Chains A and B, each alone.
Chain A
């Protein structure tokens, strides 16, 4: 096979941190929106979904990275899908063994991790080109970023939509929960609000960086 230009990345703290902030799969890349909107109605569901996705992401990325010189290019997508599907099935059984109530709450979205583009995207764009260690760190970072994003939606939606956090009531008894927040539209509202915040932070940072030093910032 023809020698590819060396695109291998050196292992730095950024390999991990990129997934959390700069390339956050949800807030920056807007990948994997289906579980993000569908199963974040409570904190517990969001956490379970995030951890399940992280497990599949890390395991499949590791295996893809391990086999990267051995999988012919023509059958790589098929191989990745089989690898991902294997780990999704394992997670499916594991969640049933941990709690059937949680399994019922997550519904079909556990099996749908197979179609999560964060995972296939990592396998194709990163793990198939990088060494084992960098892949492990990078996919852990991406998984943590995905879990954090799900948690930030899940917590807000549970507090507003149910008046509880992790099932514990935090409002006085006469609080009328905003039921819309745990319904599908609530997912879009909360995601929109978080995206607004993230984009505002990013723009502010860019504006600050663009300002020449020594000049007094205008009083906006």
Chain B
């Protein structure tokens, strides 16, 4: 008897049904476990997401104690968002008496390492952006976080001009990031030297957010101030 035959007799072939049975049952148990955990964690994750957004809104609009979510409808109006609505929302921020004190809008742009998502505060009284907070980005540590913490850079967002043009369908002046130290006009953002691409992305994000949301907000401000 040669070696190969010996091995053959020593180790009988596993029947196919045994393999199928094993893989099938393991896959089924796995599916069941994953589905159970998914069902269990889904409401907790949704609640986490809500708290995270609320924290960001209250940070960009200081003094706010309540927020309401709105969606931009197809015909350019604001409608109250359903529970768990996805996509680019507009958040109204209110004080304790229910008065509108600011509006949070979001925009994103491509930074140095992937998209930079930012939340901005828009003040309809001065027609300007009054605050910013990066929601998520993959920018290089030590450079990218300047977008949220560099005091000189944040000064740009204290009263960033976002006036509408005469027809009210776009900004009168597109928001742009300019080279560090060359900011002369109120719709320009003074860039950070050393983090040029990240600060440019911030300008693009601000412009995207404002171009999309400000015309609708100005047209339909009543929807935001209306009491429920």
- Surface stretch bound by A, among B44-52, B125-133, B216-224: B44-52
Residues of B in contact (CB 8 Å), total: 26
Task: Please state if B141 and A182 are interface contacts (CB–CB under 8 Å).
Answer: yes
Distance in Å: Cβ of B152 to nearest Cβ of chain A:
18
Query: What's the Cα separation between A119 and B90 when bound, in Å?
Result: 45
A166 within 8 A of B: no
Is A51 an interface position by the 8 A CB rule? no
Report the Cα distance A100→B50, complex, angstroms.
11
A155–B41 CA distance with the chains assembled, in angstroms:
30
Complex Cα gap A30–B125 (Å): 60
Partner among A79, A85, A100, A104 whose Cβ is within 8 Å of the Cβ of B22: A79
How many A-B pairs fall under 8 Å by CB? 68
CB distance from A120 to the nearest CB of B (A): 15
- B30 and A96 contacting across the interface, CB-CB below 8 Å: no
B27 and A82 contact, CB distance less than 8 A = yes
Q: Which residues of A contact B141 (CB under 8 A)?
A: 41, 161, 179, 182-183
Per-residue interface assignment for chain B, residues 10 to 43, with 1 indicating a CB less than 8 Å from any chain A CB and 0 otherwise: 1110100011001100110110011001100100
Among residues of B, the one whose C-beta sits closest to the C-beta of A41 is B141
A175–B41 alpha-carbon span in the complex (Å): 42
Q: How far is the CA of A177 from the CA of B142 in the complex (A)?
A: 9
| Contact in complex: B142, A182 (CB < 8 Å) | yes
Q: Are B30 and A72 in touch, CB under 8 angstroms? A: no
Q: Bound complex: CA of A105 vs CA of B194, how far in Å? A: 24
Looking at A15-23, A86-94, A123-131, A143-151, the stretch in contact with chain B turns out to be A86-94
How far is B25's CA from A79's CA once the two chains are assembled, in angstroms? 10
Q: Is A12 an interface residue (CB 8 A)?
A: no
1/0 contact string of A99-129 vs chain B (CB within 8 Å)? 1110010000000000000000000000000
Q: Which residues of A contact B41 (CB under 8 A)?
A: 93-94, 96-97
A–B pairs, 5, beta carbons within 8 Å: A2-B11, A70-B22, A72-B19, A75-B19, A177-B142
A residues at B contact (CB < 8 Å): 1-2, 41, 67, 70-75, 78-79, 82-83, 85-86, 89-90, 93-94, 96-97, 99-101, 104, 161, 177, 179, 182-183
Chain B residues proximal to chain A, CB less than 8 Å: 10-12, 14, 18-19, 22-23, 26-27, 29-30, 33-34, 37-38, 41, 44-45, 48-49, 52, 136, 140-142
Given contacts A75-B22, A97-B44, A182-B142, 5 further A-B contacts (CB under 8 A): A72-B18, A73-B14, A82-B26, A86-B30, A104-B136
